[in-house]
Structure 1
Amino acid sequence: MKLTIKWDNFLNQLDTFVSEGKVLLEFENSIQTEQEFEKTKTEIKTWKESCFEFLKSSFDKNEFAISFHNARQERFHIGNQKKDYRQIKTETFQDLKEKINMLVYFKRILSISDAIIKPEIVELIDRNLYTTEQTLELILDKLYDLYDNSYHSISTILEGNGVTQKRHGEDRELLKMLEDNGYVSAMHMRDSAGQLTLRGKLYVEEKRKAHKENYNDINKSQEEINERVDEIIEKLTKLGYGQEIIFDEIQELKELYTTLNKKNWGQLVKGKVVDLALSKLVENDTLSYIYEKLTDHTLRLP
């Protein structure tokens, strides 16, 4: 699945729809007549249609638009019994709340979906070559970033981060492995979903804290490093970073690659990236791209 518009534009429009939906919700208690309700119901219908069309046009597939369209409060109907308008009003506003909550959830789940919101930064080919252990770690990392009272679809997390399931039901097996280790609570339904446990949260925190980089696996030629540095500079230029100081810092890595040993050169790359992070000159997503491009390691900023 691909986002067909810029993430910032998508996010701003999503926030606008949420705000407009909440304004409509405020009418629930002030409506006193069926005529007043019909007017507001028309406005809610227009809002829902606008949201649906926006979601449909923002992706190359319709999963999010369909999920939004189907979001409604579950309820029972008794035969062909006609409902009083007050009951219809209650149900209409309940469904509106569900759809607003769905938009809020889209914002959350997409914020951790690297392949959707920043495909130009993440090396997606590498993600598709992840080992089982790397895939499990990615799931835990994303569930940590989502940590709340909800259960989150494992297949959505995988697809949203560029990991293709090699066979049907792999998401269910991965979730079961994490559940057996006590790292997640699981819901094994039509779509397997997980929620990070406190033990899982502690595991991720300890792993992030204890992680020490081993740069001995950096084994590129000077020509490869030169090419990667040039690619980074080209990417930064396209993203609108024109500060000469940034380019100078990165260009220096070419000259020092054969001068320093692997450990010191890797530490130098990390140091430059951290300095850029502290200076706020470059966004963290772009810093991750720089670091991963040069070292093939995942960036963990302090």
Structure 2
Amino acid sequence: MNIVEKEALEFYKYDFLNSSENLEGLKSALDSKLYSFNRDRDRLDFLKIIRDTCSVELENHKKDCNGCDYDRQRNKAIFVVEQEIESINKYYSFEPKKEEEFTTEEESKLHSKLNKILNDLEKQNFGQQIIFEEIEELKNHFNLGKKTWFQLAKGKLIELTVDKVIDKVVCIEIFDTLSDGFEHVNKILIK
């Protein structure tokens, strides 16, 4: 458990819900605590932990509740936290860690691989526009970093397979082609 997680759980347990029963008090307590974090990524992680913890507590309580006021305050807390998450997400831009960033050479190789895949699919009569749009879209997201980009690629390919636009074998071949030369990329497992 990292510092942000510890702080979030401690804040939730001892300070947040005890700060007030109205929106203004909850927001004030949350704003005061968020001021302690300089990085938006830490703020978002903190808020998501608070929201998830509150949601789990609320669901567990509903199983045994006969109509008390417990859920009203938890719903207010979730509302305040989600507003803050939306506010940060408006201006937050993801920046991958240095070791996760693609080099110019890696971007160029992937771009070439994507073009080759498109040509091969066209030759194999996989001419549906959706395939080309999904693969073309991958070219615009190298800024996500290696891990996130490959997760996006995997998701798009699996979605095309589930929608029966391409078959499993083609999906796996495309991902293997893209991930060739990149360490620590998990292969696609489709049953």
Normalised by the length of structure 2, the TM-score is 0.41
Greater helix content: 2
Which structure has the larger Rg? 1
Normalised by the length of structure 1, the TM-score is 0.27
